[in-house]
Structure 1
Amino acid sequence: MTAGLNRFVEAQDPVFERAMAELAAGRKAGHWMWFIFPQARSLGRSSTAAFYGITSFAEAQAYMADPVLSERLRRAAQTATTAPAASLRQLFGSPDDLKFRSSMTLFAAVAINPTVFEAALTRWALSPDPLTSTLVAAARIGPDRL
C-alpha cells in the first residue's frame, strides 16, 4: 500500500463495521462517506473531500489493487445495493447520494471486475455520473488528474 492510500485505511478502521451496519439498516447516520466511497478529488468542495479525494486514474487503480481497500469498497457497494431503503436519497441523504453515484462511476471505470459497482448504479436506477465519466476519460488520455 502506498503512503497516500493509507489515509483511507486509517480513517476506515475505526468506523467501517458501523458504516456497514448503518447501510444494512437502510440509513447512513455517521460521517464516513468521504473515505468509504471516495470520489474524484476535483468534485469535492470541502477540505475533507479534497483530502480523501482520489487524485488520479493511477491512484484509483492502486486503490482497487490494494486487497484491504478493494474488499472494503466492494463490500460497502454490495451492502448499499441490498440496503432496505426506498431510494438512494433515503439511504444516504443529500449530497451523499450524489457522492455515492460518483464513487460507483469512478470505480466501475477502473476496476478489472466492475460488476458490483455497476450493480449498485443499476439498483438505484442511476446512469454513470457524467462529470466523473468526463474526468476519467480525460485522465486516460491526458494529464492523469482527477
Structure 2
Amino acid sequence: MEKRYDLDRFLEAQRETYGNALEEIRQGSKQTHWMWFIFPQLRGLGFTDYNIFYGIENLKEASLYLNHPILGKRLVEITQPMLEIENKTALEILGRPDERKLKSCMTLFGLLPETPECFRQVLVKYYNGEQDEKTLQLIKESGS
C-alpha cells in the first residue's frame, strides 16, 4: 500500500498568507511569519511544532509538492522574485534563521530530476552555489 502524503496542510496554511508572502518577497523584505509552509524544508532540520508539521518527509513528498498544480506553481512563482532582488543577501531579505530555511528548501527541491532551474539559481545567487549539508545528510540517511 502506497503512503499518502497530506499536502492539504500547505494549501490551508497558504490560503490566507500566500499573497502577502509573495508581495513581501517582491518588496525584498520578509515581514510576517510564513516560511515553514511557503518554502518548506525537509523534516528533521528543526524541532518546533511548525518545523515538524510542515516538514517534507522525503524526496517523494517533495516531488508531489512540486508537481501539485497549486503548490508547485506557487513555489516557483515566489522563488523567481528572489532572483530579481539586487544588492541584498538572503539574511537581509528573510532574517535569521529563515535565510537558512531558504537554503535547505532550495537544496531539497533542487535535488528533484524535474526541478525548475530557479532553485539552483537561488543557491548560486545567495549561497555561492552551495547546497545545505544537513538536508543532503538527511536525504542520504533516509535512503530517499
Query: How many positions carry a matched residue from both structures?
Result: 140
**1:10-89 matches, cutoff 5 A:** 10-84=12-86, 86-89=88-91
Give distance in 1, aligned partners of 2:61 and 2:49: 19
Distance 1:50 1:96, change over 3 A: same
Instruction: Give the structure 2 partner of residue 133 of structure 1.
Output: 136
Q: CA deviation at 1:84?
A: 4.1
Structure 2: give runs of 5+ residues left out of the alignment.
none
What is the SS of the residue equivalent to 2:85?
coil
For residues 109-146 of structure 1, the C-alpha deviation after alignment (integer angstroms, 9 at most, x for no partner) is: 0250330100111111331101111222343xx3x4xx
Residue aligned with 2:19, SS: helix
CA RMSD of aligned residues (A): 1.6
| 2:93 partner SS | helix
Q: Structure 1's 3 and 109: CA in aligned 2 closer, same or farther, altered over 3 A?
A: closer
From 119, 122, 128, the counterpart of 1:120: 122
Residue type of the alignment partner of 1:97: E
Unaligned runs of 5+ in 1: none
CA contact (8 A) 1:26 1:85 kept: no
Q: Percent identity?
A: 36
Amino acid at match of 2:133: P
Deviations 1:29-76 (A, max 9, x none): 010000000001100120111100001221111111111110000111
Give the match's secondary structure for 1:128: coil
- What is the TM-score normalised by the length of structure 2? 0.90
